Amino acid sequence: MVRAERKYVDLMRQSTVGLFANWDPENPIEVGSYGRFDLDTTRFTVLGNIYDPEFQVLLDAVDGNFTMSDHPPELDPVEQDMIITSSGVRKHLFSPGADAKKENFNKASFKMNFKFLSGKRSAVLVIHKPRLYHVPRNTVLDVLYRIPEFNGLCIVPSVYKCRGWSIYLSSKLEETVAVALLPSKVGFDLEWWSNSDSDFLRQGTDKNGFASPLFAAQQKLPLIRRYMRGMPIPDPEPDKFWIDGYPGWEPLDEDGNDDPIWEEDYEPDVARVWRRTMCKSSMTRW
Q: What is the pLDDT of residue 14?
A: 93
Cα separation, 25 vs 214, whole angstroms = 8
User: What's the pLDDT score for residue 284?
Assistant: 39
DSSP characters for 150-188?
Answer: GTT-EE--EEEEESEEEEEE--SS-EEEEEEEEE-SSTT
Per domain, the residue ranges of the chain are 4-223+233-284
How confident is the model over 245-264, as a mean pLDDT? 82
Give dist(CA 114, CA 80) in Å, integer: 19
The per-residue pLDDT for 285 is 38
Residue-level pLDDT at 127:
98
Q: How far apart are CA 259 and CA 261, in angstroms?
A: 6
The answer to whether 210 touches 128, Cβ cutoff 8 Å, is no
3-state helix vs strand vs coil in the chain, percent to 5: 20, 30, 50
pTM: predicted TM-score of the whole model, two decimal places: 0.85
pLDDT tens-digit readout, 113-162:
999 999 999 999 999 999 999 999 888 998 999 899 999 999 999 999 99
Residues 205-252 pLDDT 10s? 998 999 999 999 999 886 555 555 665 555 555 456 788 998 888 889
Listed residue (21, 14, 6) closest to 217, CA to CA? 21
Torsion angle in degrees (nearest 10) through CA of 241, 12, 36, 161:
90
CA distance 63 to 283: 27
Residue 104 pLDDT grade (very low, low, confident, very high; cuts 50, 70, 90):
confident
